[in-house]
């Protein structure tokens, strides 16, 4: 066995089920990766993978080896993390999250706790859950928050295990309609999805950060055309406030934000509208004091959300 890179190569091949996809993720060419895997198999005296037209699959012995390989890489990552904690200067946070006001509110509160004289290196990224799992698994992010529809929970729990990630539930919720207090539908207790046909939806044009509930096609009126696409979050609440015929889909928001912009959240009768948010992190990862501070601020931000729900 040449070095730890070979272990990483094998784990990536198992993760993708494809030499070509793994090579792409590892920024290598396919022949180079194939050669490295062959060298690893030769040094071990076993075949790690079966190569089939439908993909690359671990052999029985290969699957056993890959368990050990992932454990070794996890332990090395934990040791490197401890080393980094010793040499890191200043205040750091590296996190990927979904588009959610309670999270961005927590992030602002986190920043207010920092000392401007100590220096800081902060990386806060809004993206989708699959990308967050991948970036946390690979170490591009230290921690993350993912969001998924409850009906896909089995898929995400399997994916987390595959990526070698641990998790902590944050909360479970329904997407709500956000609109001005002056909106014609604001007085309705529960809004039917078809009631929205005459109003303008605010949507995020950046589809790489999904923020809408999954509406079954059978329940989606074909004539829905009124929308305003925006590509940054700064203007969304102001637009909703100034255009009382507009609305958007959101996860539950802190009460002070709603009051600041004179907005209300309304329930909408949409099937299977249940979602979950959770913290994720690598197995063996050691949280920094700033990771813990951010996570605490997220939980504090949710307290206001819970008060509003209850």
Q: Where are the domains of the chain?
A: 4-84, 89-170+280-309, 176-269
> Residue 261's pLDDT is what?
93
Note the CATH architecture for domain 4-84. Orthogonal Bundle (1.10)
- Tell me if domain 89-170+280-309 and domain 176-269 are identical in fold: yes
Low-confidence ranges of the chain (pLDDT < 50): 1-2, 87, 211, 214, 216-219, 223, 310
Note the CATH architecture for domain 89-170+280-309. 3-Layer(aba) Sandwich (3.40)
Q: What is the CATH number of domain 176-269?
A: 3.40.190.10
> Residue 309's pLDDT is what?
53
> Residue 217's pLDDT is what?
45
> Residue 283's pLDDT is what?
86
Per the CB < 8 A criterion, the answer to whether 48 and 37 are in contact is yes
> Residue 305's pLDDT is what?
79
> Residue 81's pLDDT is what?
64
């Amino acid at each position: 066995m040449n070095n730890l890179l070979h272990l990483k190569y094998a784990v990536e091949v198992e993760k993708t089920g494809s030499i070509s996809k793994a090579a792409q993720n590892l920024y290598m060419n396919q022949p180079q990766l194939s050669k490295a895997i062959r060298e690893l198999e030769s040094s071990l005296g076993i075949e790690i993978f079966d190569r089939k037209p439908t993909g690359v699959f671990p052999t029985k012995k290969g699957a056993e080896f890959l368990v050990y390989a992932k454990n070794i890489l996890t332990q090395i990552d934990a040791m490197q993390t401890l080393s980094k904690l010793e040499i890191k200067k200043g205040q750091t946070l590296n996190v990927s999250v979904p588009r959610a006001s309670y999270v961005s509110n927590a992030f602002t509160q986190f920043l207010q706790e920092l000392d401007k004289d100590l220096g800081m290196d902060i990386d806060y990224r809004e993206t989708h859950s699959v990308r967050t799992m991948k970036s946390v698994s690979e170490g591009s992010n230290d921690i993350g928050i993912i969001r998924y529809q409850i009906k896909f929970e089995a898929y995400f729990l399997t994916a987390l295990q595959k990526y070698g990630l641990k998790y902590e539930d944050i909360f479970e919720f329904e997407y709500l309609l956000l609109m001005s207090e002056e909106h014609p539908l604001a007085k309705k207790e529960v809004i039917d999805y078809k009631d929205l046909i005459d109003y303008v939806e605010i949507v995020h044009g950046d589809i790489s950060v999904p923020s809408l509930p999954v509406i079954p096609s059978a329940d989606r009126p074909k004539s829905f055309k009124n929308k305003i696409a925006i590509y940054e979050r700064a203007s969304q609440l102001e637009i909703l406030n100034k255009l009382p015929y507009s609305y958007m889909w959101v996860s539950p928001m802190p009460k002070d934000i709603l009051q600041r912009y004179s907005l209300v959240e309304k329930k909408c009768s949409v099937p299977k509208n249940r979602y979950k948010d959770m913290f994720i992190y690598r197995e063996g990862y050691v949280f920094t004091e700033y990771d813990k501070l951010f996570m605490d601020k997220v939980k504090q931000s949710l307290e206001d959300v819970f008060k509003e729900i209850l």
